[in-house]
A and B are shown apart, each in its own frame.
Chain A
Amino acid sequence: MGARTGAGALGGGLVISARAVERRYGRKRALRPVDFELSPRSFLVVTGANGSGKTTLLRLLVGLAAPTKGELEVRVQRGALGYLGHEALVYRDLTALENLDLYGRLYRVSERRERIGMLLERFGLWDVRGERAGSFSRGMLQRLALCRTLLHDPELLVLDEPFAALDADGATLLDRQLADLRETRTIVLSTHEPERVERLCSDRLALT
């Protein structure tokens, strides 16, 4: 029982190995037992109805929660994980630029300013880089959260409903970004629109 994140001893070059992983909060079961393995450069799409445990599973993968039962191994260092959750995980009273600079420093991103500038431009936030995140719409916050997630060029991307709140332009941008990352990164993505990433995904996990 337990979860490990880091350069562990997973066999067969797997990035993730989950065996009968289950999560309960008290008597309430948030995630039914799941088994799956993921090799490098895979693209796993997690689907399921509301309350089926998608968010719980993704939080287990990045180490924000621990399994109640089962074995979970994630063979990626903490600094090489990129997590997009339901919240943007940014400070509302800092500007977009200041938020990314903070995370860039903590993740020790090389050529930080250039990387931040490139991401802000790519996600259409360059013109509002000096505005507080608290003044952003939900869609703009999601774009900023995507910038934060991709800032340190993570090996493993864990994206919880990344298309939520994005407008058509934002969703197209994300489609393009995922297609670019598909060949070189391992991606776990939960969504209610699996058809959107149908052509990219290599593995599927349907939670019940």
Chain B
Amino acid sequence: MRYLADVATLARKDLRLELRARDTLPAMLLFVVSTLVVFRFALPEGADELAAQGLLWVALVFTALLGLARAWAPERESGALEGLVLAPTDRSAIWLGKSAAVFVFLAAVELVALPAFAVFFAPVDLSTVVGVLLANLGICAIGTLLAAMAAVSRTRELILPLLFLPLAIPLVVGGVGASISEEPEQFLAFLGLYDAVFAILCWASFEYVVSE
């Protein structure tokens, strides 16, 4: 219970920071909508609807990357991560709290992105929505850990995409599969398995990311 209370405290702190500073969410919203608009004009007339489904996932992954690059900015600017690391809480709670906040940001972005996609390209079915939510879990789990690693590096702008995008490929494969397949269940199961495996790995390894 104490662990979950710490996670809730840390996630609430991130949501409060974002509501106050409005640094990340407006940028993510603008990015995803403008990307979809660009794709709308980039796709030739009469292009296959399947291609559009792929572009939805490209837009979501790069929007997530934009948010992840800012995820640890408040801690980096004030050295607050050291304050959290010194607190007598399980250090994985820091990762879980941050991941929960990033999940909320991503879900908020998708609340706009999916209807926008439906307007510009094609209707969004239930399996796509479930796929997006499952992919969010994986993006938040891995992305938050990698963003923490990148945050302490001088070349963080380079490192985060280089580390994150290869690991996001299975999420795109699973997500696109769930969107276009006649039998999306296997792709959703794949996304669920990916989430479970990487969430456990990230949860267990965060301690080593923030300590020497």
Is B78's beta carbon under 8 Å from chain A? Answer: yes
* A78 to B, closest residue via Cβ: B88
CB-CB under 8 A from B13, the residues of chain A are 91, 94, 98, 102
CB-based contact B17/A90 at 8 Å: no
Is A168's beta carbon under 8 Å from chain B? Answer: no
For chain B, the count of residues having a C-beta within 8 Å of the partner chain is 26
For chain A, the count of residues having a C-beta within 8 Å of the partner chain is 29
Is B84's beta carbon under 8 Å from chain A? Answer: yes
CB-based contact B86/A88 at 8 Å: no
Tally of A-B Cβ pairs under 8 angstroms? 75
B1-43, CB < 8 A from A: 2, 5-6, 9-10, 13, 16-17, 20-21
Which secondary structure characterizes the binding site on chain A? loop
A83-B86, A98-B16, A106-B88 known; A91+B212 contact, CB < 8 A? no
Is B155's beta carbon under 8 Å from chain A? Answer: no
Is B79's beta carbon under 8 Å from chain A? Answer: yes
* A66 to B, closest residue via Cβ: B212
CB-CB under 8 A from A87, the residues of chain B are 78-79, 82
CB-CB under 8 A from B85, the residues of chain A are 64
Q: How far is the CA of A88 from the CA of B78 in the complex (A)?
A: 7
Chain A: residues with CB nearer than 8 A to chain B?
62-66, 77-79, 81, 83, 85, 87-94, 98, 102-103, 105-108, 132-133, 148
